[in-house]
Amino acid sequence: MFNRVVLAAVLSLAVALPGWSREGFGSFSKKVIEIERTQPPALNVPGTRVHVSVDADRNRLTAKAETLRQYTEAAVLAGNKKLEAAPNGDVNIILSLDRLDADQHNESKTEYESEKTKDKNGKSTYVSVPKTKNFTRSTGDIAGTYKITDARGRLFDSGDIDRHWEYDYDYRPLANEKVQDLLLKEAADKIAARIVPTQVKTKVLMPKGTFEQFIPLAESGAWDRYLQSVESVPALRDRASDAYREFALGIANEVLGYRAEDPKTALELLRKAAEHYRTAVANNPDEKLFSEKYTGFLSAASSPIDRVEASLRAYEAWAGGPAQPKAGAIASTHGSKTLRNQHVIDMATAGLSDENIMLAIDSAEALDLDTTPEGLVALSKAGVSKTVIAHMQKKKMK
């Protein structure tokens, strides 16, 4: 009899609980989906014809420079289907490859491992034993420059492609030729990102509860149908519950914004996404995953608010119209503000790739970077990668 009373009480309690109790991201397992986020180009250049060439006066590595030219042209044309290669370009990219090296050598180091042994009384104990570990250190360096001009030779942009690469292998290392090829492709991608959009993979956290049934649509890439399905759900009575509906609408609009071919259409969708995210936060401020980065077992998702607001700034610059060349100066889409450590931290927090952060540093009109030991510690604690920190130190030294 007692068990029946308890069961009836539990059932009545479950019925009485408000609807928001079943909305959320999941108590034990969360669903994260990987999407492709379109990063606008650093420069919005006019025209449809592009010409990529090698500066014959500065070139020192003829064959490798031609490979770099081919990789750059391929990356540019792949990034914008409206562009075509032409001898007389509306946009001209002039490359110079000054250095391309790769090397590998064997090294060893001593590491200490615990080994089980017995003392003089026969009791088991552990001692630290030195072990020599052999490995191969593979290194690579590339150095050179690029210039981007209009048809009349007026300068849009310029910069370097310098990069040092280093990796330790416990097994067979990459061949030197392969390392050189990777450096050439990275340089080509860096140059292409100045004038064409690039794709960066990122992860989004999906709300469950009422909206879990729609997740397979998102997983299959049918984000337009996911949006329609979420829109078909009436606003939930409780604001805290309805926040998850708003969040789902934000995700759908954001992803569709990245997929839009027209920057102005993309900008409109991203603005909708930002508004839905802000409403979700306002309706349920206790749900920290609406505004904070999620890191779980084998999965991670960047902060949606930071991510979409960073995208909004980039798309606003992209949709603002073609950049105007500046004779003798580097054009920048980042305005006249001085770029400081906090800007770098903000970009890293927003989920931007190392490549895009370094591009922002390179294209800033002025830099005020703090590379003191205290500044470096603060950058590392804030989540800025070692690659970006090293790039900042390099720029500071110039």
- Answer yes or no: is 5 within a domain: no
If one compares 60 and 191, the residue with the highest pLDDT of the two is 191
134 or 185: whose pLDDT is higher? 185
Query: Is 108 within the bounds of a domain?
Result: no
**Long-range own/partner contacts, residues 208-216 (CB < 8 A, 24 or more apart):** 208/23, 208/24, 208/25, 208/26, 208/31, 209/22, 209/23, 209/24, 209/241, 209/244, 210/22, 210/23, 210/236, 210/244, 210/245, 211/244, 211/245, 211/248, 212/31, 214/248, 215/31, 215/33
- Provide the number of structural domains found in the chain: 3
Asked whether the CA dihedral 282, 283, 287, 293 is positive or negative, the reply is negative
Range in 42-56, 202-216, 250-264 with the lowest mean pLDDT: 42-56
My answer on whether 191 and 212 are in the same domain is: no
**106 located within any domain:** no
pLDDT tens, position by position, 289-325: 998 888 877 677 778 988 999 899 889 888 877 766 6
Residues 71 and 189 in one domain: yes
- Measuring CA to CA, which residue among 44, 34, 37, 35 is closest to residue 356? 37
49 pLDDT higher than 50 = yes
Q: Token pair of 391, please?
A: 């790039």
| Best CA proximity match to 79, nearest among 50, 109, 108 | 50
Around Cβ 6, how many Cβ atoms within 10 Å? 10
Q: Which of 77-86, 318-327, 387-396 has the highest mean pLDDT?
A: 77-86
Among 178, 196, 214, the domain-final residue is: 196
Is pLDDT above 50 for 332? no
Q: What is the pLDDT of residues 344-375, one digit of tens each?
A: 887 887 677 787 788 788 877 788 888 888 88
Judge if 204 and 250 occupy the same domain: yes
Can you say how many angstroms the Cα of residue 21 is from the centroid of all Cα atoms in its chain? 34
Q: Which residue, of 196, 212, 230, is where some domain finishes?
A: 196
Residue 6 inside a domain? The answer is no
Which range has the worst mean pLDDT, 98-102, 117-121, 164-168, 332-336? Answer: 332-336
Residues 164-172 have a mean pLDDT of 86
Task: Tell me the two tokens of residue 195.
Answer: 């004038």
Note down the domain range covering 283. Answer: 19-40+200-319
Final residue in a domain of this structure, among 196, 214, 233: 196
| pLDDT for 18 | 40
Q: Does residue 173 form part of some domain? A: yes
Higher-scoring residue by pLDDT: 9, 135: 135
| Domain co-membership, 174 together with 311 | no
- Indicate whether 3 belongs to any domain: no
One domain, residues 377 and 260:
no
Strand 31-39 versus strand 198-206 pairing type: antiparallel
Say whether pLDDT at 271 is over 90. Answer: yes
CA distance 248 to 254: 10
Asked if residue 391 is part of any domain, the answer here is: yes
**Residue 275 confidence (pLDDT):** 96
The CB-based long-range contact list for 131-135 (8 Å cut-off, 24+ gap) reads 132/108, 133/108, 133/109, 133/170, 134/106, 134/107, 134/108, 135/106, 135/107, 135/108, 135/109, 135/168, 135/169, 135/170
| CA–centroid distance for 92 within its chain | 27
Same domain, 170 and 283: no
Which one has a higher pLDDT value, 3 or 112? 112
Whether residues 283 and 209 fall in one domain: yes
Nearest to 208 by CA among 18, 11, 13, 33: 33
**pLDDT level of residue 13 (50, 70, 90 thresholds):** very low
**In angstroms, rounded to a whole number, what is the distance separating the alpha carbons of residues 13 and 294?**
32
238 and 345 in a single domain? The answer is no
> How many residues appear in the chain?
398
- CATH number for the domain that contains residue 164: 3.30.160.150
Q: Are 279 and 243 part of one and the same domain?
A: yes
Q: Are residues 161 and 273 in the same domain?
A: no
Q: Does residue 258 form part of some domain?
A: yes
Residue type, 297: F
Q: Let me know: does 214 contact 226? Beta carbons within 8 Å.
A: yes
Q: Share the mean pLDDT of the chain.
A: 85
